[in-house]
Amino acid sequence: MQTIRSITKMPKVSRQLAARGKTIALVPTMGYLHEGHAALIKRAKKSADVVIVSIFVNPKQFGPKEDYKKYPRDEKKDMARIKKAGGDIVFIPKAIDIYPDNFQTYVTVEKLSKTLEGKSRPQHFRGVTTVVAKLFNITRPDVAVFGAKDFQQAIVLKQMTKDLGYPIKFVIAPTVREKDGLAMSSRNRYFTAEQRHQACCLYYALGTAREMVKSGIKDVRALKSEMRAVIKATSPKAKIDYIAFTEFDSLKPVSKASKSTICSLAVRLHNVRLIDNMRF
């Protein structure tokens, strides 16, 4: 496995691979990898000859009161996990190289980035789309693999890929969960054992809504009301940011749940903000 830290060397290596007829898959990450990331790498391995995993904690997608400096980092463990999962190249650029002095250019997806997470974190998606566009330009992938846990992010990036004409196959891989249903996240490490149990409230709420829809209850107001009750019963101090039922691709809100509906929610629990989603 090769490690590249230079943003001038990386495109040269990608061009050399392409010249040899090799296809490239990119898995962008912010590091502190878990089994969810490993699943994305394995999925990428099925789609291309060479898998590039980028590790970059992107300062532009954190708000002023968010946990950029505290975001967990462990490069040594990340490298071991990437190698075990089948990654071929690890790209670890420096922030000063991605965002040099006097950096002024950003990529914005207008409509999709203004709802849900976009309302709570106004500059978040601008940072995400900008860094991913730069990673696409530097690594030159044929395939890009993202996880469904960050569903809105994946839809926003898929739209950007289409709008900017990137010749990249866009893959959204299923969310990987712990045995108790908690969606795998680098931020789960912040919880004590008891707090971690409470964090399952998002999954319990989503599961309750799914069962209600299966039983014929499709009114979104009723679904949201029951989801709030489940969250508060599991974690009384949880603060619900939003619960939203939207169309899968457009993210337009719906009043009745159907097979093309996805439910997304964000909950703050013990000073940790968690997101999750489920398709009905």
How far is residue 258's CA from residue 246's CA, in Å, rounded to a whole number?
10
Amino acid (one-letter) located at 122: P
Sheet with 24-29, strands from edge to edge, namely: 2-4, 89-91, 50-55, 24-29, 143-147, 169-173
Catalytic residue among 34, 37, 124, 197: 37
Is 197 a residue of the active site?
Answer: no
How far is residue 274's CA from residue 259's CA, in Å, rounded to a whole number?
24
How far is residue 231's CA from residue 184's CA, in Å, rounded to a whole number?
18
How far is residue 236's CA from residue 63's CA, in Å, rounded to a whole number?
27
Strand partners, 51: 25
Question: How many Cα atoms within 13 Å fall on the side-chain side of residue 11?
Answer: 8
Amino acid (one-letter) located at 102: N
Length of the chain counted residue by residue: 280
Report, as residue numbers or ranges, the catalytic residues: 37
